Structure 1
Amino acid sequence: MRKTYFILMFIGTLLLNACGSENQKENDNASSSVELYFGFKPPGLEAKPLELNNMSQKGWELGGVNAPNMKEFYLTSTLETPLRPIVVSFRKENRAWKKYEFYDTGGDVLYSKDKYIERTESGWSAIKSLGAPFDTIPIMRLTASSKGTLVFDEATRDGNGILRYSRLINGKREAPKPFDATINTGKWTAHPFIAPDESYIIWDSEREGGYGDSDMYISFRQSDGSWGAAINFGDKINTDGEDGGGYVTPDGKYLSYCPRCSPPYDRMWVDAEIIEKLRPKIEK
């Protein structure tokens, strides 16, 4: 199940080393005793800019294969590898090619809003649809746990969108259900990330008591299966602007997010231990 991902990481490492960028050399010389993370000097518990300029701005595109019907083409992009590896699919629709990006969460199914693809022995399946009612909801981000639970948002013009979830029960997908007010409070509630083991959910929202516009929050799964109180990530992560878009790397090591979320949409990253630092606050 993880074979494709490990191959991707290996190739990504080779490409990063091949770049031979000055940034890479500076990192190597500055911290020869620090183990680099795919060519990057990893951050600690203080968030640092995620500088991807030592990679091609267009991203390295690895391989490529046509679907058997010749109406779809797949490639693996390392634009954010290994932080958020993706499979890009171009699908011919109405005589034009439409681009879909499927983000790898470590499983055999990759999702792109209401669409998904599955790993096969020869590569990837054709693009499939989750069907109704998923295809009637304007989803911006959909994330999945290793158990197949889907958590997704809803794009709106007034900021009144909510987060929903859908579980796999006895092999069948249940109808989407909204989270309760623990999570669905405030405005512009969006961009969820559910941990692979479903132990926590990260999202951003504009709430009372925040630092400005949207802030990043986290809720931990309780022993009774409910979700604990929303915890603000604090001023080491959140600013007086619009912060969000957080996700954790597939290996669970780092949290990446967008501070202020304004062009050019530079990202930050921080050791995922910051999540564990927050966990005891709701377990006491």
Structure 2
Amino acid sequence: MKSIYPAKILLLSVLMMSGNSYGQNEFPALEDRYLGQKPPGLTPKKFAPGIVSTQEHSETEVLFLPDMRELSFTRSGGKHKEPTWLVMQYKDNRWSEKSIPSTDINKYKERFSPSVSEMKGLEPFKDIPIVGFTASPKGTYYFYVLDFKDGSGHMSYSRLIDGKYEEPQRMSKAINRGKYIAHPFIAPDESYLMWDAEKDDENTPDIYISFRNKDGSWGEAINMGDTINTAAYEQRPKVTPDGKYLFFWRGDKKVRKDGSSYWIGNPHWVDAQVIENLRPKQ
């Protein structure tokens, strides 16, 4: 296996993870951190109605930079015949849309979500059909492979040991259950893992969480409950860089009269206390 430059791993980890390493003074003031929105409680709400979440469009997940001074999402539908990627920036004590030159968009997107191609260029991942991943501050990758035709696939992990990545290890059946297992998020201290999947006899994904046991093994997958998981699609869980809120996407698939389909949905947020409420007492 090739040696990995620590600086590159650190960069990937910073980009992917919620940032406990950031001091409060490096974030915008708390009341400004989320476009000035009233924080949710333990019941999820659409994020920033009329600004990010709209009735006439469908918006994807919201992604924050580690210092929370920029956020991004994609909007489609209505006048947006093609998906439009939008960035909002906190500058001079206010939020506004940031214009990104078309020639820089792909590179700029990697600030919010590093490309899988970066990871797949490393040993021992080159021959694995990885779809997506999350990385811990220590450089551990949690990634998934997925066959979109039948939903089969699994999640694996690989630790960075002495500058080299170990051979990937498939995660236990506590996590690899059901189909369409995807979109992992690892806690900064690796004490819990969230993802979405369709369990047996289900036809829409729910969000699940597993907590790490004292012996290092992973506990059984826990459905995150009826307030988060509904009959719609719930996907892409992520905790904000300040650790305060859980963001996820909720939506549904609609079918037109001509048989074609389209998606509706918006980003939602909820107090991250919902995670602690599920953590087993030890």
> Where does residue 20 of structure 1 map in the other structure?
none
| In 1, Cα distance between equivalents of 2:70 and 2:233 | 28
TM-score of the superposed pair, with normalisation by structure 2 = 0.64
Deviation at 1:264, TM superposition (A): 3.6
**Structure that is richer in strand per residue:** 2
How many residues of Structure 1 are paired with residues of Structure 2 in the alignment? Answer: 216
| In 2, Cα distance between equivalents of 1:162 and 1:153 | 6
AA aligned opposite 1:197: D
Matched, 1:78 2:45: no
Percent identical among aligned pairs is 42
**Pairwise CA RMSD of aligned residues?**
3.6
Query: Which of 160, 169, 176 is equivalent to 2:168?
Result: 176
Matched, 1:41 2:32: no
| In 1, Cα distance between equivalents of 2:22 and 2:102 | 20
- Say which SS state the counterpart of residue 235 (structure 1) adopts: coil
- Unaligned 5+ segments in structure 2 are 1-13, 60-68, 74-87, 90-99, 254-262
What do the CA deviations read for 1:141-168 (whole angstroms, capped 9, x no partner)? 2111111111112231221111111111
| In 2, Cα distance between equivalents of 1:277 and 1:195 | 15
Query: Which of 186, 203, 221 is equivalent to 1:230?
Result: 221
| In 1, Cα distance between equivalents of 2:37 and 2:226 | 25
Pick closer, same or farther for the CA change 1:246–1:196 going to 2, 3 Å. same
User: More deviation in 247-256 or 47-56?
Assistant: 47-56
> Where does residue 271 of structure 1 map in the other structure?
271
- Say which SS state the counterpart of residue 266 (structure 1) adopts: strand
AA aligned opposite 1:79: S
Task: Tell me: higher relative CO, structure 1 or 2? Use CA pairs within 8 A at least 6 residues apart.
Answer: 2
What do the CA deviations read for 1:35-76 (whole angstroms, capped 9, x no partner)? 454312111101000126436999xxxxxxxxxxxxxxxxx9
Matched, 1:188 2:180: yes
AA aligned opposite 1:246: P
Matched, 1:150 2:147: no
Deviation at 1:241, TM superposition (A): 2.8
Matched, 1:101 2:109: yes
> Where does residue 209 of structure 2 map in the other structure?
218
Pick closer, same or farther for the CA change 1:215–1:79 going to 2, 3 Å. same
> Where does residue 253 of structure 1 map in the other structure?
244
TM-score of the superposed pair, with normalisation by structure 1 = 0.64
- Unaligned 5+ segments in structure 1 are 14-33, 59-75, 83-87, 105-109, 117-128
User: 5 Å matches for 1:104-183?
Assistant: 111-115=114-118, 130-156=121-147, 157-183=149-175
| In 2, Cα distance between equivalents of 1:37 and 1:134 | 37
Deviation at 1:247, TM superposition (A): 0.9
